[in-house]
Amino acid sequence: MIVFLTTGDHDYTHRSLIGADPDLEIRVIDYAKILELRQVPRATYVFTDLDRLGTEPLSMSAHLYIQLRDHGVRVLNNPARVLSRFGLLRMLLLKGINRFNAYRVEEGLMPRRWPVFLRIDGTHESPLPELYQNANDLELGIEAAIARGLPRSRLLIVEFMAEQVRPGLYRKLSCFRVGAASVAHTCVHDTDWVAKHGKLGITPPDLYEDELRIVRDNPYGAAVAQAFEIAGIEYGRIDFGVVGGEVQIYEINTNPNVKLDSEHPSPVRMESGRLFARNFLAALKAIDSPPT
């Protein structure tokens, strides 16, 4: 059995796995409910949504992790070790992996590279859509964000680092870590630099062929493995781009929305999706623990 621990409003992310494979028993449990139980089932426990937890529930989750680990239960993602989005981006720059920096607005520091954008730490909402080209525009953008109710203490300034894979077309790549396994995911193609969900009908056939190669061969698996280690994350999805031939890490989501089957007009994309699903389920079986 594998148990994914999530926050209450975000337990939908792994429900597609329930019943997806007859050899896998998957449960999704809210942190609030698991902490109330006197006895928990024997299973592999995957701690997710750690960036969404406040200080007290994060600490409680870390104590639960320790208790389960000390009783011989397999656990992934130590809440006491996982870095925040800001902490990860700053550390990736310091380690020479990323070429761009991130700043907390409350640090009062100006970026060294332009343009930049704003986003909120601790959520998985899209960044604010504006790209700011100079300090004056950035200051106006920060004040506008605060006026909209976005907390200054959670606002991040991130230096823009992306390039088009084709004229007018951006590509976001993703890769899962599942214990010791690395599983390449399908790509997102979009005319918008944010490239969060993608758009149908804009991707040329050769990019779908290239996507199939990526899912099959996982050419970036080794490059992103170090970022997972730095972040202290044993399960999650890393989102990244390739800029100037180099992998640039954008974030790691410990509670990604896993979709194993979705219709698509491209038969090559459908093949990529099926291959990802097979690889992902195989990786889950490798971390599975028999219930007792």
Q: Please give the average per-residue pLDDT across 257-285, as a whole number.
A: 93
Proportion of the chain above pLDDT 70, given as a percent: 99
- pLDDT at position 201 is 86
- Name the amino acid, one letter, at 11: D
Q: Please give the average per-residue pLDDT across 19-46, as a whole number.
A: 89
- pLDDT at position 210 is 97
Proportion of the chain above pLDDT 90, given as a percent: 82
Q: Please give the average per-residue pLDDT across 52-61, as a whole number.
A: 91
Q: Where are the domains of the chain?
A: 2-76, 101-159, 170-287
CATH, domain range 170-287: 3.30.470
How many contiguous H segments (helices) and E segments (strands) does the chain have? 7, 12
Give the three-class secondary structure for 282.
helix
What is the rounded average pLDDT for all residues in the chain? 93
DSSP 217-234: H-TTHHHHHHHHHHHT-S
Confidence category of residue 291, pLDDT binned at 50, 70, 90: low
The pLDDT tens digits for 157-195 are 999 999 999 999 999 999 999 999 999 999 999 999 988
Nearest-angstrom CA–CA distance, 240 and 262: 22
Q: Please give the average per-residue pLDDT across 79-90, as a whole number.
A: 95
- pLDDT at position 124 is 67
Point out the least confidently predicted range of 32-41, 101-110, 128-137, 210-219: 32-41
- Name the amino acid, one letter, at 133: Q
- pLDDT at position 128 is 87
Asked if 217 contacts 175 with a C-beta cutoff of 8 angstroms, the reply is no
State yes or no: pLDDT of 292 exceeds 70: no
Which residues, 6 or more positions from 158, have their beta carbon under 8 angstroms from its beta carbon?
Answer: 89, 100, 102, 103, 116, 117, 118, 119, 127
> Where do the DSSP E strands lie in 38-110?
44-47, 75-76, 102-104
The pLDDT tens digits for 197-253 are 788 888 999 999 999 999 999 999 999 999 999 999 999 999 999 999 999 999 999
Tokens linked to 285: 């079986």
Asked if 134 contacts 201 with a C-beta cutoff of 8 angstroms, the reply is no
Q: Which DSSP category does 165 fall into?
A: S
Q: Please give the average per-residue pLDDT across 94-109, as a whole number.
A: 96
State yes or no: pLDDT of 113 exceeds 80: yes
